[in-house]
Amino acid sequence: MSLDVYTDTPLVAIVGPTAVGKTDLALTLAQRLGAEIVNADSRQVYRQMDIGTGKPTEAERTLVPHHVFDVADPDEDFSLGLYRQLASDAIAKVAARAKLPLLVGGTGQYVWSVLEGWQVPEIPPDTAFRREMENRARQLGHQALHDELVGIDPEAAARIQATNVRRVIRALELHKATGDLPSVLLWSKKGLSESTLVLGLGMDRRQLFARADARVDRMVLLGFPGEVRALMEKGYGPSLPSMSSIGYREMYAYVQGECDLATAVEKTKLETHRLIRRQNTWFRATDERIVWVEGQESSRAFETAMRQIEGALR
């Protein structure tokens, strides 16, 4: 089954930056509505990466059905196309059971690929080309690869940060394989269905940064360094795309003795702040497709979200 079959079926997305409270809101809404949660976080798809990704706990996942969590090992290739297929299938199956799907997460590409029906190219990886590009990035710097993409497709380059070497290489790889512009291949879309409600959970940035910092401290107390050590002992190294996630590379440096814990924690907090800024470019306050809900008070956020959902369902 595919989500495209269910374009007239109600779907609610809960989006926003990390640490804003999406998981708690989604759980409360799902229990009240008898809904089911579909993941839209690019790191929560990986098994054994629980603490550092802020994944819902086992106890939380017993409260309501959760989908598209723990679907890949840390060393498996996991593409946007595969994500869209898994999420679309999950949403279709939830809808077929006459349940409300809640698409929840802060990965903009994942969210919009589903909501807008992106036509993601199914082009297999070119291992030799990727290795060549990775070597060039090491020798010349990541900006050299990004400059090459600018020359081929300025629109794609504007959407992909130069520091995100993996995505830059994928765009170049698509161009090499097809001769087409990566922006056309990656972001061909159908548009947002009228039966879709997008709720954006927002918060004052200073308060959000404080919440994000507190969450990093809590992850450490829950055993984040031990989680990274266990992954390392299983052979999952820092060069893997999964292990490039914020916090994992910093904790890897700590576990390897390259820095102390305080330094790793501080770097994780700074990178999380940068992530929040990037997420705000995917979910803009001026985007008229998003109905924004103030997240400072969880009870008020829940009441506002319920009113919006009940109105949309009517």
Set out the domains of the chain in order of their start, with CATH numbers. 127-186 (1.10.20.140), 207-277 (1.10.287.890)
The CA distance from 56 to 179, in Å, is 41
Tokens of 102: 């809640």
pLDDT of residue 5 exceeding 60, the answer is: no
Give the H/E segment covering residue 38: strand 36-39
Residue % of the chain over a pLDDT of 90 = 74
- 269 phi and psi angles, rounded to 5 deg: -65, -45
Comparing 230 with 187, the larger pLDDT belongs to 230
Q: Kindly tell me if the per-residue pLDDT of 85 is higher than 50.
A: yes
Question: Stretch 177-193: mean pLDDT, rounded?
Answer: 79
Question: Tokens for 272?
Answer: 């999380």
pLDDT, tens digit (0-9, with 9 covering 90-100), for 277-288: 999 889 998 899
Q: How far apart are the first and last CA of the chain?
A: 26
Amino acid symbol at 264: A
Q: Are the C-beta atoms of residues 172 and 149 closer than 8 Å to each other?
A: yes
Q: Tell me how far apart the alpha carbons of residues 197 and 184 are, in angstroms, rounded to a whole number.
A: 26
pLDDT in tens, 146-182: 999 999 999 889 888 888 888 899 899 988 988 888 8
pTM (predicted TM-score): 0.85
The DSSP line for 88-153 is HHHHHHHHHTT--EEEE-S-HHHHHHHHTT---------HHHHHHHHHHHHHH-HHHHHHHHHHH-
Residue 149: is it exposed, middle or buried by C-beta count within 10 angstroms (0-12/13-18/19+)? buried
In this prediction, residue 118 carries a pLDDT of 85
Q: 305 with 12: CB under 8 angstroms?
A: no
> Tokens standing for 100?
């409300």
Question: Mean pLDDT, to the nearest integer, of 188-200?
Answer: 85
Instruction: State the amino acid at position 259 in one-letter form.
Output: C
In this structure, of 154-168, 215-229, 291-305, the range with the lowest mean pLDDT score is 154-168
Asked if 46 contacts 243 with a C-beta cutoff of 8 angstroms, the reply is no
- Cβ count near 282 (within 10 Å): 17
Does 6 have pLDDT greater than 50? no
* pLDDT given at position 3: 45
- Return the pLDDT at 2: 46
Q: pLDDT at residue 1 above 80?
A: no
In degrees, to the nearest 5, what angle opens at C-alpha 110 toward C-alphas 166 and 276?
75
303-311 mean pLDDT:
96
The model's confidence at residue 7, banded by pLDDT at 50, 70 and 90, is low
User: Residues with Cβ < 8 Å from 210, sequence gap 6 or more?
Assistant: none
- Provide φ and ψ at 294, rounded to 5°: -75, 125
Mean per-residue pLDDT for 27-49? 97
Q: What is the mean pLDDT of residues 19-40?
A: 97
For residue 8, the model assigns a pLDDT of: 67
The CA distance from 270 to 262, in Å, is 12
Closest listed residue to residue 249, CA positions, set 233, 231, 234: 231
Q: What is the mean pLDDT of the chain?
A: 92
